[in-house]
Chain A
Amino acid sequence: MSLFVEAFFLQAGYNATLVAIGAGVLGFAAGASGTFPFLRKRALISDAVAHATLPGIGLAFILMVTFGGDGRSLLGLIAGSALTAWTGLLLIEWISRRTRLTEDAAIGAILGTFFGAGIVFLTVIQGMSAGRQAGLEGFLLGSTAGMLFQDALLIAVGGSLAVLVTWLMRRPMTIVAFDSDYAMTLGYDVRRIDLLMMGLVLSVTVIGLKLVGLILIVAMLIIPAVAARFWTDRSTKMIWIAGCIGGASGYLGAVLSASAPAMPTGPIIVLVAAGIFVFSLLFAPDRGVLVTLFRHRGFQARVHRRQGLLALAAHHPIREAYTLRLLTREGLVRPDGVPTDAGRAQAAKIARDERRWDVAREIYQDTGLTGRYDGLTPIEDVFTADEIAELDHQLGPPVTARTE
């Protein structure tokens, strides 16, 4: 535990500190730039982009070694991975635009093919004399062991840039994500904005490759955005919330893995993010699962209660067992379906409201009213007290039960 506290306050050594800060910044950048692809319903393109970096890493290594350089130069590897990922992105776009295949098929095809090609290059490198200790496999699942100051600097600079561009372009990206046809009529170049969105994802992916690896970076691009969706309905706010969730997951994950032996950083970061996601999914106010389920049950009960009272008012039997149980529990009917006095009173009130609606619908034939006659909206929500009094006046004296 004390190790955790030490790591949390960045007292657990130089490397652990670098990793924690790097992971935090990377998480923030990934969360923020993952927001718009998610809102555009294209979150999984980032999966293809990430997998499509692998052949670039391999190719860059081979080229650099062939020309006598150090194959492990981070900038070279990043340039290579960005190049193939961008190619993959353009191919996805081309396939779904030019052929009858849908975008999801194109994503899967590019993802699988590029990753396969990447594996081929990795085995080529293993066969090269310089490739024995290349350690390129680390790019699959990430490694924090050899994190250098320049690696952290790259993440800090690249990540800040990605967040800045996301923030600057938030309006056009919001419009394109919400309604691309409308954006087009406003004169936005939707294709370029889409490419920008994915370009941001791509840049976060390549700077994060070394730290968390190309498979798990996808999680950092998707999960914070999805989690943030539960807490706000506004896209600009979502950028910051997703960024904070991502940043917190990155930092906490790195700290956790530094405080226990043999805890791989990447998976821990993802699992922390997943924990925040699950918490949001269950407990978020308004959109959370628990609130939704609770509301749905309440709604269903309201429908059945209302239908049951309408049946009582019309002297019809209650057909459904659930309705009967509901009304019995409230003491409105006896278990054999005969209404109690309280039930009769409630039914009379509902019968009266139904008659009020009949009159009202004849008098107020405007559009604003038509959608409100849905059986559940109380008449008091739609009309003022004096309007209802007028309806009652037209109806004549109150009746307590329907005359046969």
Chain B
Amino acid sequence: MSPTIKPAIVSDLGHAVGPARAPRDAALAIHGLTVSYSEKPAVFSVDAAFSTGEISAIVGPNGAGKSTLLKAALGVIPRLSGEVYVFGDTLRNARARIGYVPQSASVDWDFPTTVLDVVQMGLYRKLGLLGRLSGQGRAQALECLDRVGLADFANRQIGQISGGQRQRVFLARALAQDADLLLLDEPFAGVDAATERAIIGVLKLLRKDGKTVVAVHHDLATIRDYFDRILLVNVRRIAEGPVATTFTTENLQATFGGRLATTHLSELAIMDDGH
């Protein structure tokens, strides 16, 4: 390796090509994942491994393919190439262990249903087609609502609650799935401060129970407080590792390029020093 290159951005070609075998302890392992919507990759050959019992962030500029990566890993959108393993198993076999919080803008909030109903959707997989929703299931859904602080809103029409509350309903629904791996797509986008605190509180409690959390995230200022690990992407994988060593000015510069204002960078650099 040429000595003229600073170690911060460089890279062995591990950027583009993953380790030979899926790490067995990874809750979610992605190998060589490529997705494209047109004649240009939205995500190119990304490798990542998210360890069990950690809260990880997927970070990158707008249009860098963060949400695409998450959705392709879940099989919600088709991938051009690549493989995904969940707890060392295929996606199909591990479905029951995955909880999912989509972007709240992705659904029709005018749909005729109530908050409690939406949370109960998290139980649908377990119930199958004809299984009866027992009182116990209802109690479980109510408890999940309570964990996100929305117990009093159970019977509201979903169109009548605020954006932050919608995000909490989605989180409660994922909690009802009782999953070991929770994938969240921009859970903090457009929510109020109280909701943000409530959500991160729930996520940290999940970590305590040994659950794995992976979230697409856009706010660089909160990364140090919220996350253990970080994956920086901009179409390709730029860097991945513990926040303490990976969330550096160099890596951010490499990820965001000219899109990150210099002032913003220096602020983060100050945070670097203080850390």
Number of B residues, CB within 8 Å of A: 43
Task: Report A-chain residues with C-beta under 8 Å of the C-beta of B17.
Answer: 307, 310-311, 313-314, 316
A394 at the interface (CB under 8 A from B): yes
Choice from A316, A323, A369, A374 contacting B40 with Cβ under 8 Å: A374
Q: In whole angstroms, how far apart are the Cα atoms of A100 and B159 in the complex?
A: 12
Q: Is B258 an interface residue (CB 8 A)?
A: yes
- Tell whether A358 pairs with B81 under 8 Å between CB atoms, given A307-B34, A310-B16, A374-B236: no
Contact B81 A320 (CB under 8 A): yes
Query: Does residue B235 face the partner (Cβ distance < 8 Å to A)?
Result: yes
Question: Which B residues from 160 to 191 make CB contacts under 8 A with A?
Answer: none
A100 to B160, CA, bound (A): 14
Q: Does A303 make an interface contact (CB < 8 A)? A: yes
**Contact between B259 and A370, CB atoms less than 8 A apart:** yes
Q: Is B136 in contact with chain A by the CB < 8 A criterion?
A: no
The digit string for A365-395, where 1 denotes a CB below 8 A from any CB of B, is: 1111111011110000000000000000011
Contact B31 A310 (CB under 8 A): no
**Docked-complex contact B234 and A370, CB < 8 angstroms:** yes
Question: Is B253 positioned at the interface, with any CB of A under 8 Å from its CB?
Answer: yes
With contacts A295-B39, A365-B253, A374-B236 known, is A316 near B110, CB below 8 A? no
Chain A residue numbers with a CB within 8 Å of B31 are 319
**Quick check: is B10 within 8 A (CB to CB) of the other chain?**
yes
Interchain CA distance A320-B236 in the complex, whole Å: 19
> Contact mask B218-247 → A, CB, 8 Å, 1/0?
000000000000000011100000000000
* Contact call B32/A307, Cβ cutoff below 8 A: yes
Residue of A nearest to B33 (CB): A307
**A354-B257 CB under 8 A given contacts A359-B5, A374-B44, A376-B41:** no
Partner of B80, one of A300, A358, A373, A374: A300
A85 to B31, CA, bound (A): 58
| Residue on A nearest B1 in the bound complex, by CB | A403
Q: Are A365 and B258 within 8 A (Cβ)?
A: yes
Assuming the A-B contacts A100-B110, A320-B83, A370-B61, are A303 and B16 also in contact, with contact meaning beta carbons closer than 8 angstroms in the complex? Answer: no
Given A375-B45, A375-B236, A319 contacting B32 (CB threshold 8 A)? yes
The verdict on A349 contacting chain B, using a C-beta distance below 8 Å, is: no
- Which one of A354, A369, A370, A394 has the highest number of Cβ atoms from chain B below 10 Å of its Cβ? A370
- Is B12 part of the binding interface, using a Cβ–Cβ cutoff of 8 Å? yes
The 0/1 profile, CB within 8 Å of B marked 1, for residues 340-376 of chain A is 0000000000010011001101100111111101111
Mark contacts of B237-275 with chain A using CB atoms, 8 A cut-off: 1 yes-contact digit, 0 otherwise.
Answer: 000000000000000011011110000000000000000
Q: Does B9 contact A (CB under 8 A)?
A: yes
What residues of B have a CB within 8 angstroms of the CB of A375 in the complex? 16, 34, 41, 44-45, 235-236
Q: Which residues of B contact A366 (CB under 8 A)?
A: 257-258
Q: Is B36 an interface residue (CB 8 A)?
A: yes
Whole-angstrom distance between the Cβ of B217 and the nearest chain A Cβ: 19
| Given A319-B83, A367-B257, A370-B234, residue A361 in contact with residue B9 (CB < 8 A) | yes
- Residues 300-331 of A, flagged 1 when their CB comes within 8 A of B and 0 if not, give 10011011001101101101101100000000
Once the chains are docked, how many angstroms separate the CA of A300 from the CA of B38?
11
- Which chain A residue lies CB-closest to B39? A299
CB of A97, distance to nearest CB on chain B (Å): 15
Q: Is B93 in contact with chain A by the CB < 8 A criterion?
A: no
Most B-side CB within 10 Å, residue of A374, A396, A402: A374
Contacts of A320 in B (CB 8 A): 32, 81-83
Whether a CB of chain A sits under 8 angstroms from the CB of B129 is no
Whole-angstrom distance between the alpha carbons of A300 and B39 in the complex?
9
For the complex, give the distance between the alpha carbons of A362 and B82 in Å.
28
Measured between beta carbons, the chain B residues less than 8 angstroms from A367 are: 257-259
B81 and A304 contacting across the interface, CB-CB below 8 Å: yes
> B41 touching A355 by the CB < 8 A rule?
no
Known contacts A358-B10, A395-B4, A365 near B80 by CB under 8 Å: no
Tell me, yes or no, whether B2 is within 8 Å of chain A by CB: yes
CB distance from A95 to the nearest CB of B (A): 15
**Known: A320-B83, A374-B44, A395-B4. Contact between A313 and B13, CB under 8 A?**
yes
Tell me the bound Cα distance from A322 to B36 in angstroms.
17
Residues in B with CB closer than 8 Å to A394 are: 4-5
A307 to B34 Cα, complex, angstroms: 9
Interface centre among A295, A316, A323, A361 (most CB of B within 10 A): A316
Cα distance, A320 to B17, chains bound together (Å): 12
Give Cα distance in the complex from A355 to B9, angstroms. Answer: 11
In the complex, how many angstroms separate the beta carbon of A77 from the nearest chain B beta carbon? 41
Residues of B within 8 A of A362 (CB): 6, 9, 254
A316 touches B18 (CB 8 A): yes
A310–B235 contact, CB under 8 A?
no
Q: How far is the CA of A317 from the CA of B63 in the complex (A)?
A: 30
Residue B194 is within 8 A (CB to CB) of chain A in the complex? no
Contact A317 B80 (CB under 8 A): no
Given contacts A299-B39, A374-B236, contact A354 B81 (CB under 8 A): no
In the bound complex, CA of A396 to CA of B13 (Å):
18
Q: Which residues of B contact A402 (CB under 8 A)?
A: 12-13
Asked whether B11 is an interface residue with its Cβ less than 8 Å from the other chain, the reply is yes
A396 touches B20 (CB 8 A): no
5 closest cross-chain pairs (CB), A and B: A375-B44, A370-B257, A367-B258, A314-B13, A396-B2
A373-B235, A395-B2 given; name 7 further pairs at CB < 8 Å: A303-B44, A303-B81, A314-B13, A319-B31, A358-B5, A373-B236, A375-B235
> Could you pull out 14 A-B pairs where Cβ atoms are within 8 angstroms?
A299-B36, A300-B80, A303-B44, A306-B45, A310-B17, A310-B45, A313-B17, A314-B13, A316-B17, A320-B83, A354-B13, A362-B9, A365-B258, A374-B235
